[in-house]
Amino acid sequence: MSVVRTRMAPSPTGEYHIGHIRTVLYNYALAKKNQGQFIIRIEDTDQERLVPGAVQRILNIIRQYGFDWDEGPDKEGKFGPYVQSERLDIYQDYVQKLIDGGFAYRCFCTKDDLEQMRAEQREKGLAKTMYDGRCRKLSENEVQKNIKQGKSFVVRLKVPADGTVKFSDVVYGELEFDTNEIDDTVLLKSDGYPTYHLAVVVDDHLMEITHILRGNDWLPSTPKHILLYSAFGWKPPVYVHLPNLKEQGENKKLSKRFGSVYAEEFLKEGYLVEALLNFLMFLGWNPGGDKEIYSLDEFIEDFSLERIHKTDLVAFDREKLLWLNGYYIRNMDNDKLFEEVVAWAKKYDVKLPDGSFTADYKEEVIGLIKERMKKLSEYSALVHYFYTDPTLNKKLLSKYAKSPARTAEILQGFYETFSVLPEDEWRVENIEGAAHDFVEKNGFKNKEAFMTLRIAVTGEEATPPIFDILKVLGKERSLERIKKALKD
């Protein structure tokens, strides 16, 4: 078997989609599993839709997700250049070969001509509009005359009539297409730039790409590519068309109406790369067992094309992603998790409420709240009362004791109970024991007493265990907050 070479060929026309990261993942895994090469190629032939700076942003986001490439626009190999706009002479040569071989032709139809043609086809009730091939009939003399007159033209693929195109796809098996349903697609635009169809075939062949893994929305285009491979006399690569991503419970592709869709957005929200990759692994592939937690290295080891799902769309379960991210957070060492939070905050210019406290204190705090934390972006909301005194809501403070007087009685009792507890005995078990003794002796209910204490100290109803919080805050700060609550 030849060396496996896969590629990802992003178009710099906007932000990089999370679905593209899934495709990168599968291409990368196949190459690395087989000790092959993974290539990045920039497909920038659609000059009208180019977005300034998009190339670098795309390369950056692919790297942020943990991938590197063996060849690419910033890592030259023997098959470069790896940017299509730098390969225009190559495409011109191959277009001429197609014309000379009778597999393509120049088309001089104007935009008005094409619109009139489509309108006439719609009036006839045709299911879809297609180019009618009128310029296929031009003689060589007519073609040269038009060129001398300076008429603008494109080059089209000459699709044979009344034939079939057959090819095999790893996921879909043997496929067959009627050539009468295939348009004479444009290969070279009037500005001299190739279309996707020409460039992708020429580049994949010249760069010795062995496997094409891409979304199944490209499946209808594959017959055109097979025709081009045949025209050039080249062997096609192995085709693997992957299911596209859809919203959970919907039959449509990912939509911003439901949440983030771009790869950068998920990182900005506070998702971990490891969790995102683990989640994406299962969007179109399954190991055939119960294992759900995979590192990238483990995925590469287990990945196989045969286990890719044969389905048009696979559900992007946002709740599952959130759960998985929480799992990775809970299983991360406290110091490592805090480093992740700090790096995330720095990157996205988020101010953290961590003040001038020691590293040990910060790690202790994050250890308490990480069970409740599902995204890095939730950190500040979960830890704020460890770093700054809470703003108390009087109504909330008296919610569980039912009256301000009973609330004050409870808080005064806790204040006196904790005041006599020695500083060197300020440990969770001692704080909890003293608190329970006070509550029991004075006939308070656990819920009214401890919820009142919790709100006085944190300003929140839902927190980690209150005695753990008191221990981390320390005796002095805990008493100060109870005293402040009594005054308020």
Active-site amino acid positions = 256
Alpha-carbon gap, residue 26 to 389, rounded angstroms: 49
Smallest CA-to-CA distance from 314 within 249, 263, 219, 267 is with: 249
The structure tokens listed for 9 are: 């060929």
Alpha-carbon gap, residue 122 to 129, rounded angstroms: 7
Alpha-carbon gap, residue 415 to 392, rounded angstroms: 17
The Cα-based distances of 322 to 85, 270, 341, 450 in angstroms read 40, 10, 16, 31
Alpha-carbon gap, residue 195 to 327, rounded angstroms: 44
**Residues for the chain: how many in total?**
488
Alpha-carbon gap, residue 144 to 99, rounded angstroms: 13
Smallest CA-to-CA distance from 33 within 283, 244, 296 is with: 296
The structure tokens listed for 355 are: 């003040």
Alpha-carbon gap, residue 212 to 109, rounded angstroms: 33
The Cα-based distances of 378 to 75, 382, 470 in angstroms read 38, 6, 21
CB distance 202 to 237 below 8 Å: no
Dihedral angle of Cα 322, 323, 328, 332, to the nearest 10 degrees? 100
Alpha-carbon gap, residue 406 to 449, rounded angstroms: 10
Report the DSSP beta bridge partners of residue 215. 242
CB distance 286 to 308 below 8 Å: no
Q: Are strands 104-107 and 37-40 parallel, antiparallel or unpaired?
A: unpaired
Other beta carbons within 10 angstroms of residue 182's beta carbon come to: 20
Alpha-carbon gap, residue 189 to 111, rounded angstroms: 13
Alpha-carbon gap, residue 205 to 202, rounded angstroms: 5
- Measured in degrees and rounded to the nearest 5, phi and psi for residue 122 equal -65, -40
- Measured in degrees and rounded to the nearest 5, phi and psi for residue 465 equal -50, 130
